[in-house]
Amino acid sequence: MSDGDASCQAAESDWWSRSGAGVVAMLLNRLGSLAAEMLFLERCRLCRGDVRLLQCTQTGCSSKTLCFRCWQGILKERPLIDWCATGCPGLDLPVASGTSYQGGMKKLIYHLKYDHDRLIADDLAHLLVLSWTLVSHQLNGCPIVMVPVPLHQSRMTSRGYNQAELLARSAARQIAVKVDAAALTRVKPTAAQYGLGRCQRFANLQGAFSCDSKRVNGAAVVLVDDVYTSGATLCEAARTLVSGGASCVVALTVARSSLVRPARLELPAGQSLEEEYRPARKSFMTTLQASTRNIDLKQDRFFSP
């Protein structure tokens, strides 16, 4: 073999060596990336698909815990509004909810409360923000403070966190209002509300809360909770806050579950929430009486037909 042939063969061998090493390095890098995605990529909490931070075309917000298809499905339902009669003269509590408590929403709230999946709170807080415009008209220009519905200390110790506080803090960052988790405390360990009738729920919550009047005196309070069912918790909390000096109280919840589905409401510019919603509220209370024939609402001090 001539010196030229040997030189060419050596060069070709060197080229294949470098090229092969490059291919192997590229493949290893790709395999490493795929492994990292499989290990660390968030999976949709509803369908287990990949979570991609794609913005919803309607709201402009993205999800950290849901795939684009499931996130769009959650956001397609418009916010709901209802009035909850508290039993206090002149205090009918406006409650705005982001969606209805059914299907995938039940699963998400369960994950947040019982599976310690706190990341879901940021996504569900978007629903509070979307509901905000339905009740913000009621705040009369007073200083606004957002107050999460508190857990009793025993429940707080076992769970480790208050899901309502996580929701409130995430929503408050987007709305730019103050959060005060110490304004309202739960002083009575109540029995579980599940399985109780409407009147039993209200009786179960009597005297459950205590308010620090120095923190809410003269303020417009926005109560935050995960689910609005009978309104017993929110009404008792609202009565406590008003007795502590709050100028007005409204409520935001992620989802709503009740005997009667409230009317959807879109406010035309310049129209009063009370004037626009009064016919819907009358219809709601009439339907409620018809659907709860075993409850004498006229003698139930928590309701005023």
Tell me whether residue 87 is exposed, middle or buried, using C-beta atoms within 10 angstroms of its C-beta: 0 to 12, 13 to 18, 19 or more: middle
Q: Scan for tokens 């304004």, then name that residue.
A: 183
Report pLDDT for 108. Answer: 96
* Token pair for 200: 């039993």
Task: Express each pLDDT in 145-202 by its tens digit.
Answer: 999 999 999 888 889 999 999 999 999 999 999 999 999 999 987 766 666 666 767 7
Report pLDDT for 6. Answer: 56
Give 8's pLDDT tier (boundaries 50, 70, 90).
low
> What's the rounded Cα separation, in Å, for the pair 224 and 178?
13
Report pLDDT for 141. Answer: 81
Give yes or no for residue 216 having a pLDDT over 70: yes
More confident residue, 187 or 87: 187
> Which residue ranges make up each domain of the chain?
41-76, 79-290
Helix (H) or strand (E) holding 250: strand 248-256
Give yes or no for residue 126 having a pLDDT over 50: yes
List the one residue out of 163, 169, 38 whose CA is nearest residue 111: 163
Evaluate whether 260 touches 291 at the Cβ level (below 8 Å): yes
- Percent with pLDDT over 70 in the chain: 63
> What's the rounded Cα separation, in Å, for the pair 235 and 243?
12
Task: Express each pLDDT in 227-256 by its tens digit.
Answer: 998 888 999 999 999 999 999 999 999 999
List the one residue out of 148, 124, 110, 119 whose CA is nearest residue 224: 148
What rounded mean pLDDT belongs to the chain?
76
Q: How many CB atoms lie within 10 A of CB 37?
A: 10
Alpha-carbon distance values, 25 to 15, 17, 37, 90, 239 (Å): 15, 12, 18, 73, 67
> What's the rounded Cα separation, in Å, for the pair 72 and 63?
10
> What's the rounded Cα separation, in Å, for the pair 225 and 128?
10
Report pLDDT for 274. Answer: 43
Determine if the pTM surpasses 0.95.
no
79-290: CATH topology: Rossmann fold (3.40.50)
